[in-house]
Homo-oligomer: A and B are copies of this chain.
Amino acid sequence: MPLTGAATADRRRVDGLIEEVVRVVGARHVLVGEDLVPFLTDQTGMLRGRAVACVRPGRTGEVADVVRLATRHSVPIVPQGGNTGLCGGATPDGGGRALVLSLQRLNRIRSIDRENDSIVVEAGCRQETVHEAVRAAGRLFPLSLPSRGTCTIGGNLATNAGGVQVLRYGTARQLTLGIEVVTADGEIWDGLRDLRKDNTGYDLRDLYIGSEGTLGIITAASLRLFPLPRQEETAFAALPSIEAALAFLGLARARLGELLTSFELIAATSLALVARHLPEMPLPYGAASFTAPWHVLVQASGDANVAERLEATLAEGLQAGHLIDAVVARSLAQARELWTVREGGLGEAMRRAGGAIGHDVSITVSRIPKFLSDAEARLREQWPDVLIAVHGHLGDGNLHYNVLLPPQQRTADAAQRVHRMVYDSVAELAGSFSAEHGIGQIKTDELRRYKSSVELGLMRAIKMALDPKGLMNPGKVLI
């Protein structure tokens, strides 16, 4: 009975590993049974995996010890931060052989340097904790996601997170000066530099960032800070067409320059979902403007004349016919209301509408009108009553393209066909099928379909080089 023999050996190996891991981190930080459950399900609740345990080391040295033990026992490791990812990158697969390694106890702010405008934080620090510490020092850390109260810096870096201020400040990668990594060998690479310029060899930092834990585990990071802008202004505007939205984006870039922090697009269909399913949520303007096909939420920030310049830009946009209507928030509370529509309202409204088939894509900004008409034509040919609710970061060419099918047509098979149509339209215009959410376990097929064999070959060579045993987050990104 070789199978049972193997299973017994496997079981013994796992028990041996658990025993050794307990010696490293202490029994209360090795979770099994009921305590393990929250670490096995992703935040959407759609993905459930299995694992032998969740281990929660408290220091980088303990992470390295655990990785070395797991490697010796050939047990795969699934690193996990705040578990807010949208592609299942932090959720173990169904095999049940993996160890979930939670970074949540590595949550210290190690140092802050106001003169160098940098902060060193551990991977398990929540994003909001960093915001608060930095703000208290009169600085800005611009990476900001709706999940900021839960998501961690380690997860942000593992997925190269984006958010609503990329237009001005860049993604997580551009905001990181250095990282500390536990390699697949269980060694510690101290790449925690806080230098703006360092051309000494290959860019390992940017390789680990965005690799979703498949090459090693980021345990700490040195992050760039910025002056805290003294003024911040938010506006909401209604536009007659997507072409007008692009024209207004060009105008806003030209007139506001670096003051332009966010330029968020929202389709009228999306706003209508909010109005229908969240009637208590205040909307920016009356019914007439509300029916315009497109809307933008614009934020400008800086030290002087921000309101004047934003208002002048809106006035010019109105005069040029790019805009139909515009409102400027007159208070912080009003600005928060406008942002709530974007950050809380859209997602919740789609959930209440029965759920959408979502896509996180990016397209060269100038090609967005063509993408929208191509994708819609494809979808509508198949499903004439499809509802397309788009919002996203227009300034980055990043659209969250949500497709709502009539209830009786919502099948898993239909979702797959919708994905294919949308991603094919993206690929034809040389766009990306994952702008900011990553690959995780749910877009591995797309990676193989839409990437060239040359690019896949290069990625596989790097994976083999840095994780030759294939134990770092298997089943994610490259499979």
Tell me the smallest distance from the CB of A463 to a CB of chain B, in Å: 8
Tell me the smallest distance from the CB of A144 to a CB of chain B, in Å: 15
Tell me the smallest distance from the CB of A393 to a CB of chain B, in Å: 8
Task: Say if the beta carbon of A432 comes within 8 Å of chain B.
Answer: yes
Task: Say if the beta carbon of A28 comes within 8 Å of chain B.
Answer: no
| Chain A residues numbered 273-310 whose CB sits less than 8 Å from any CB in chain B | 302-305, 309
Task: Say if the beta carbon of A431 comes within 8 Å of chain B.
Answer: yes
Task: Say if the beta carbon of A441 comes within 8 Å of chain B.
Answer: no
Assess A162 versus B309: contact at CB under 8 Å? Given A211-B202, A462-B202.
no
Interface size on A, residues (CB 8 A): 94
Task: Say if the beta carbon of A199 comes within 8 Å of chain B.
Answer: yes
| Interface pairs (22), CB distance under 8 Å | A113-B364, A115-B365, A117-B365, A159-B199, A160-B203, A188-B454, A191-B455, A195-B435, A196-B398, A197-B432, A199-B436, A199-B437, A200-B432, A200-B447, A201-B447, A201-B459, A201-B477, A203-B206, A206-B207, A304-B305, A462-B462, A464-B465
| Chain A residues numbered 431-477 whose CB sits less than 8 Å from any CB in chain B | 431-439, 443, 446-447, 450-452, 454-455, 457-459, 461-466, 477
The CA of A188 and the CA of B183, in the complex, are separated in Å by: 30
Tell me the smallest distance from the CB of A64 to a CB of chain B, in Å: 11
Binding site for B on A (CB under 8 A): 113-118, 159-160, 162, 166-167, 170-171, 173-174, 183, 187-191, 193-204, 206-207, 209-211, 215, 227, 229, 246, 250, 253-255, 257-259, 302-305, 309, 362-367, 393, 395-398, 430-439, 443, 446-447, 450-452, 454-455, 457-459, 461-466, 477-478
Among B160, B196, B258, B259, contact of A397 (Cβ-Cβ < 8 Å): B196
The CA of A257 and the CA of B114, in the complex, are separated in Å by: 15
| A451 partner residues in chain B, CB cutoff 8 A | 200-201
Tell me the smallest distance from the CB of A235 to a CB of chain B, in Å: 18
| A204 partner residues in chain B, CB cutoff 8 A | 455, 458-459, 462
Tell me the smallest distance from the CB of A446 to a CB of chain B, in Å: 8
| A455 partner residues in chain B, CB cutoff 8 A | 189, 191, 201, 204
Among B197, B259, B438, B463, contact of A435 (Cβ-Cβ < 8 Å): B197
Could you tell me if B465 and A462 are in contact, using CB atoms closer than 8 angstroms? yes
Among B257, B433, B454, B477, contact of A303 (Cβ-Cβ < 8 Å): B257
The CA of A173 and the CA of B170, in the complex, are separated in Å by: 13
Q: Which 7 A-B pairs have the closest CB atoms?
A: A258-B258, A465-B465, A115-B366, A206-B206, A196-B396, A198-B432, A197-B435
Assess A190 versus B439: contact at CB under 8 Å? Given A227-B253, A459-B202.
no
| A188 partner residues in chain B, CB cutoff 8 A | 454
Could you tell me if B254 and A432 are in contact, using CB atoms closer than 8 angstroms? no
| A167 partner residues in chain B, CB cutoff 8 A | 196
Residue of B nearest to A455 (CB): B189
| A454 partner residues in chain B, CB cutoff 8 A | 183, 187-190
The CA of A229 and the CA of B452, in the complex, are separated in Å by: 39
Could you tell me if A196 and B166 are in contact, using CB atoms closer than 8 angstroms? yes
Could you tell me if A430 and B193 are in contact, using CB atoms closer than 8 angstroms? yes
Among B171, B255, B466, contact of A461 (Cβ-Cβ < 8 Å): B466
Residue of B nearest to A189 (CB): B454
| A190 partner residues in chain B, CB cutoff 8 A | 452, 454
Assess A452 versus B189: contact at CB under 8 Å? Given A115-B365, A257-B303, A435-B195.
yes
